[in-house]
Chain A
Amino acid sequence: EDQVTQSPEALRLQEGESSSLNCSYTVSGLRGLFWYRQDPGKGPEFLFTLYSAGEEKEKERLKATLTKKESFLHITAPKPEDSATYLCAVQSHNNAGNMLTFGGGTRLMVKP
């Protein structure tokens, strides 16, 4: 059974204070790992797809990295508008229909 665990559950940062969010996963045959951003009361918004260990993707202040057991979402010099819940999900080659398994999310709060 595929499993995704995100940590920490919540993270408070001062504006400009860089940090990382963790996504640990167990999957039989990783097809892809996905990061989403979710604002309160809204649907998630797709950020990145990572396919293999060593891969990195960047978008503005966000950088996602992938190893064989975990992914990190690095946030450099965050701003208050980066406050949101960040969701990680994995897709395996082996589960029926290749559906995503989501983690519980990390709620990020950036204070000015």
Chain B
Amino acid sequence: DGGITQSPKYLFRKEGQNVTLSCEQNLNHDAMYWYRQDPGQGLRLIYYSQIVNDFQKGDIAEGYSVSREKKESFPLTVTSAQKNPTAFYLCASSIVTAGTYTGELFFGEGSRLTVL
């Protein structure tokens, strides 16, 4: 079955450590995204990518980094510079039509990061 796989589902980190969240898709989608969700708040965009080796900052990119070396993979690193990293992280993908991102996103199951 096609879909998006995120791992790990739960992750605990000590302050000062970098952690990397994995996101893999087999939908053959061009665009991939990382969102952050905090309780009672909407999803906020961290980074997005339309093609391999290219990505753009979203609204809250500070303290995060990404790479897009393969179409299927879009890992997110939460660095020690992120001041409040405890959150639910969601990876998504979508098709791109005529250079425009569609709003119909396919999401993974999410990764919950807790900083101790």
Chain A residues proximal to chain B, CB less than 8 Å: 4, 9, 31-32, 34, 36, 41-46, 49, 87, 89, 91, 97-105
Contact = CB atoms under 8 A, between A and B. Distances in A.
Interface stretch (B61-69, B76-84, B101-109): B101-109
Interface residues of B, number: 24
Dominant secondary structure at the A interface: strand
B41 interface: yes
Contacts of B100: 31, 98
Contacts, number: 61
A36 B44 CA distance: 15
Contact of B104 (A46, A87, A97, A103): A46
Contacts of B44: 102
A4 B44 CA distance: 12
Looking at A43, A87, A104, the one whose CB has the most chain B CB atoms below 10 A away is A43
